[in-house]
């Protein structure tokens, strides 16, 4: 089955821009979705589709994709953005396609 | 606003069967995929499997031999059973609503509504 690969940890200075990436063959067929998870809480969808934000998600969160790599960009990171971030798609090699998650990226806001 | 409420036993002994249920409030059951996901302590998210409103299922190959997901559309509920549990199955278990759509040459899949999670501990 296809896998999604994320960097384990990323840091960003307060107010700066950070990009979190996700790589995998399934991303050539599926846009990634991105989830934010804070300690002790359920994941929250922050980006889906080409670059769509659910209601209530700040516009500093954006998504992009190129080839087998998807990116989540936070422009002007805030202290409350410190969290784990997971990418997700479906494994297009399967029938039916399985759901896959990346291993997660821990974002630290300095 | 759609909400998911989940419940089930939180403490199991090895070899027992884990059983969780998730109720869907405030929205339609049809047209979506209803998933179970788990997260072992300190680790990432692992998809367990999904079911749609007509009862078609899809399971993570690594868990397929032990997993059963079922649906009761009359109650807007879906359930997870995981047999022969071991300490490795200790995790927070989440239910979630998933959707699939097309966007030009691509598809996208998303999980937009999640339950609060149920902590399941397997210990003798």
Contact check, Cβ <8 Å, A90/B100: yes
Q: Would you place residue B105 in the very low, low, confident or very high pLDDT band (cuts 50, 70, 90)?
A: confident
Q: How far A103 CA lies from chain B's nearest CA (Å)?
A: 6
A→B interface, C-beta within 8 Å? 1, 29-33, 35, 37, 42-45, 48-50, 54, 65, 84, 86, 88-90, 92, 96, 98-104
- Closest approach of chain B CAs to the CA of A14, in angstroms? 25
pLDDT tens figures, B47-62: 999 999 889 999 999 9
Partners of B63 on chain A (C-beta within 8 Å) are none
* CB–CB contacts below 8 A, A to B: 80
pLDDT of B64 reads 96
List, for residues A48-78, the tens digit of each pLDDT value: 999 999 999 999 999 999 999 999 999 999 9
Listed residue (B76, B77, B78, B75) closest to B67, CA to CA: B78
Which tokens belong to B119? 């902590």
CB-CB contact of B108 with B98 (8 Å): no
Q: Is there a contact between B12 and B18 (Cβ–Cβ < 8 Å)?
A: yes
- The per-residue pLDDT for A2 is 66
Report pLDDT digits (tens) over B2-24.
999 999 999 999 999 999 999 99
Cβ atoms of A74 and A61 closer than 8 Å:
yes
The confidence score (pLDDT) of residue B103 equals 85
- pLDDT score, position A1: 54
């Amino acid at each position: 089955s296809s896998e999604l690969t994320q960097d384990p940890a990323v840091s960003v200075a307060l107010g700066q821009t950070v990009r979190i990436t996700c790589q995998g063959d399934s991303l050539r067929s599926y846009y990634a979705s991105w989830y934010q998870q804070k300690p002790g809480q359920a994941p929250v969808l922050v980006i889906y589709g080409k670059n769509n934000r659910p209601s209530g998600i700040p516009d500093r969160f954006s998504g992009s994709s190129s080839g087998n790599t998807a990116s989540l960009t936070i422009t002007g990171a805030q202290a409350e953005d410190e969290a784990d971030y997971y990418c997700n798609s479906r494994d297009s090699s399967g029938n039916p396609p399985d759901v896959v998650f990346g291993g997660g990226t821990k974002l630290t806001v300095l | 606003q759609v909400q998911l409420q989940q419940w089930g036993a939180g403490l199991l002994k090895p070899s027992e069967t884990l059983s969780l249920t998730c109720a869907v409030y405030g929205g339609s059951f049809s047209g979506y995929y209803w998933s179970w996901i788990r997260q072992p302590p300190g680790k990432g998210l692992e998809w367990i499997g999904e079911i749609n409103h007509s009862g078609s299922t899809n399971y993570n190959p690594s868990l397929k031999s032990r997993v059963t997901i079922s649906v009761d559309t009359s109650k807007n509920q879906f359930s997870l059973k995981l047999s022969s549990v071991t300490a490795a199955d200790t995790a927070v278990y989440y239910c979630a609503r998933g959707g699939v759509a097309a966007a030009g040459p691509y598809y996208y899949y998303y999980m937009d509504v999640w339950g609060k999670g149920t902590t399941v501990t397997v210990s003798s």
